[in-house]
Amino acid sequence: MSSRQIALVTGANKGIGLETSRQLARAGMTVLMGSRDEGRGRQAADPLRKEGLDVRFMRLDVTDEASIHAAAETIGREFGRLDVLVNNAGVAVEGWDAKPGTVSMKSVRDTFEVNFFGLVAVTQAMLPLLKKSAAGRIVNLTSILGSLSEHRDPNSPIHGMLCTAYNASKAAVNMFTVNLAHELRETKIKVNAAHPGWVRTDMGGEGAPLDVTQGAWTSVYLATLPETGPTGGFYHKDVHMRW
Ligand SMILES: NC(=O)c1ccc[n+]([C@@H]2O[C@H](COP(=O)([O-])OP(=O)(O)OC[C@H]3O[C@@H](n4cnc5c(N)ncnc54)[C@H](OP(=O)(O)O)[C@@H]3O)[C@@H](O)[C@H]2O)c1
């Protein structure tokens, strides 16, 4: 059995997932970089390997049950456990102007397929492996846009941002986080939701104030929590957000 911690990051071929993989590997972990596309995944992993980091490409489409179970089977066979799961893969299918009264049902379904159903399916498949870890950590990438309190507050920076499919998918991620943390409260596994901030990626756009190094901070913080750390929370950096 590997003495290094084993981490799986979904959607690791670019953006926050790629940078999270780099930072976890620099912290000494073996990082399995999930990507739904082999070419993009290997292209992302190769430069990190050249840096001397222990990262490996892992084919993983979070909407494809067969690919999820193949990944879990491979991790079980090669490592016998999983220490960190970062559920990072995400989409904003119809952009930021898809309002609740008009957003297409296809967009709602496609968004939930990745951001929520995919996240639940990956987590359930990896749970038996996480239970074999001495200190399992699950990090669910959510958003301030999943916060009901922020949407209701006229002074919030996101008040009136009505991209409902994305917002609702992340609110669902928050609920899953709280419920799973409760279910696992007697175990060594901690489950938390991460808001990375507004980050310059393909999703965040060029106008975002944070670079990916800053954007990966919350995921890495929650992935490396000590035994005394929180579970069932919603964080940006180490500050708890309003639900
Ligand atoms: N950027 C921000 O400002 C911001 C703010 C709040 C929350 N977030 C959240 O942070 C996470 C990362 O966002 P990002 O900004 O880094 O986005 P990004 O640059 O668009 O990267 C998204 C990643 O998810 C992958 N992905 C999409 N569908 C997938 C699927 N079915 N299976 C596996 N992987 C899939 C993409 O793979 P492909 O390259 O194959 O498409 C890509 O690797 C997301 O959950 C997002 O909602 C981002």
Ligand 1 atom having least distance to the Cα of 13: 43
Q: Which of 166, 176, 221, 235 is catalytic?
A: 166
Q: What is the mean pLDDT of residues 215-231?
A: 98
166 is catalytic: yes
Q: Are 171 and 148 in contact (CB under 8 A)?
A: yes
- Looking at the CA of residue 199, tell me the nearest atom of ligand 1: 3
How far does residue 194's CA lie from ligand 1's centre (Å)?
A: 13
The per-residue pLDDT for range 129-139, each reduced to its tens digit, is 999 999 999 99
Residues 41-87 pLDDT 10s:
999 999 999 999 999 999 999 999 999 999 999 999 999 999 999 99
Q: Which of 24, 8, 1 is nearest to 62 (CA)?
A: 8
* Residue 124 Cα to ligand 1 middle (Å): 20
Pairing of strands 234-236, 137-141: unpaired
Cβ atoms of 218 and 195 closer than 8 Å = yes
The CATH class given to the 6-240 domain equals alpha beta
Substitution candidate for ligand 1 out of 201, 218, 235, 237 with most atoms within 8 A of CB:
201
For residue 1, what pLDDT band results from cuts at 50, 70 and 90? low
To the question of pTM greater than 0.75 for the whole model, the response is yes
Q: Where are the domains of the chain?
A: 6-240
Specify the pLDDT at position 153: 98
What lies within 8 Å, CB to CB, of 233 at 6+ separation is: 181, 192, 193, 240
Q: How far is CA 162 from the centre of its chain?
A: 22
Pocket test for ligand 1, best of 36, 40, 60 (most atoms within 8 A of CB): 36
CA torsion sign for 128, 129, 132, 134 is: negative
